[in-house]
Amino acid sequence: MAENSNKPNGSAANGGSVAASELSLRSQIAADASNAIEVDHIVKKYGDFTAVDDISFAVKDGEIFGLLGPNGAGKSTLIRMMTTLIPITSGTARVAGHDVARDPNAVRRTIGVIPQALTSDLDLTVEENLNIYAKLYDVPAKRRKEAIDELLEMVDLTKWRDAQTKTLSGGMRRRLEIARGLVHSPKIFFLDEPTTGLDPVSRVAVWEMLTNIKAKRQLTILITTHYMDEADRLCNRIAIVDHGKLVALDTPEALKASVPGSNVIEAQFEHAPADWEERLRGLPGVTSVQDESGGMFRVLTDNGSGTTTDLVEMAVVLGVGLKTLTVQNTTLDDVFVHYTGRQLRDELVKAHAFVMPPSPGLRP
Domain contains 139: yes
Q: Three-state DSSP class for 180? A: helix
The arithmetic mean of pLDDT across residues 139-149, rounded, is 92
**Cα end-to-end span (Å), the chain:** 40
CATH code, domain with 302: 3.30.70.100
Are 195 and 202 contacting, i.e. CB atoms less than 8 angstroms apart? Answer: yes
pLDDT for the residue 224 = 92
Domain contains 17: yes
pLDDT for the residue 342 = 63
Is residue 25 within a helix (H) or strand (E), and if so which, with residue range? helix 22-31
Q: Is the pLDDT of residue 24 over 60?
A: no
CATH code, domain with 67: 3.40.50.300
Residues 284, 223 share a domain: no
Are 260 and 300 contacting, i.e. CB atoms less than 8 angstroms apart? Answer: yes
| Other CB atoms within 10 A of residue 191 CB | 26
Residues 321, 207 share a domain: no
Beta-strand pair 64-68/220-225: parallel
Residues 190, 306 share a domain: no
Q: Over pLDDT 90: what percentage of the chain?
A: 62
Residues 273, 161 share a domain: no
d(CA 288, CA 278): 10
Q: Three-state DSSP class for 342? A: coil
Beta-strand pair 296-301/188-192: unpaired
The arithmetic mean of pLDDT across residues 107-119, rounded, is 91
Output the CA angle 315-317-323, nearest 5 degrees. Answer: 25
pLDDT for the residue 69 = 85
Nearest to 360, CA basis, from 99, 108, 123:
108
pLDDT for the residue 112 = 93
Domain contains 356: no
In tens, the pLDDT along 264-323 reads: 899 999 999 999 999 999 999 999 898 988 999 999 998 888 999 999 999 999 999 999
Domain contains 336: no
292, amino acid identity: E
Count of all residues that appear for the chain in the document = 364
Please give the residue range of the domain that contains residue 144: 12-255
pLDDT for the residue 53 = 95
Residues 317, 205 share a domain: no
d(CA 358, CA 364): 19
Are 239 and 66 contacting, i.e. CB atoms less than 8 angstroms apart? Answer: yes
Q: Is the pLDDT of residue 15 over 80?
A: no
Nearest to 169, CA basis, from 141, 201, 209:
201
Are 120 and 173 contacting, i.e. CB atoms less than 8 angstroms apart? Answer: yes
With cut-offs at 50, 70 and 90, classify the pLDDT of residue 155: very high
In tens, the pLDDT along 214-266 reads: 888 889 999 998 888 899 999 999 999 999 999 999 999 999 888 887 788 99
Could you list the beta-strand ranges (E) of the chain. Answer: 35-46, 49-60, 64-68, 90-95, 98-99, 111-114, 188-192, 220-225, 237-242, 245-250, 263-270, 286-291, 296-301, 321-329
Are 38 and 58 contacting, i.e. CB atoms less than 8 angstroms apart? Answer: yes
Residue 166 burial by Cβ neighbours in a 10 Å radius (0-12, 13-18, 19+):
exposed
d(CA 59, CA 237): 9
pTM above 0.85, yes or no: no
Output the CA angle 129-114-178, nearest 5 degrees. Answer: 55
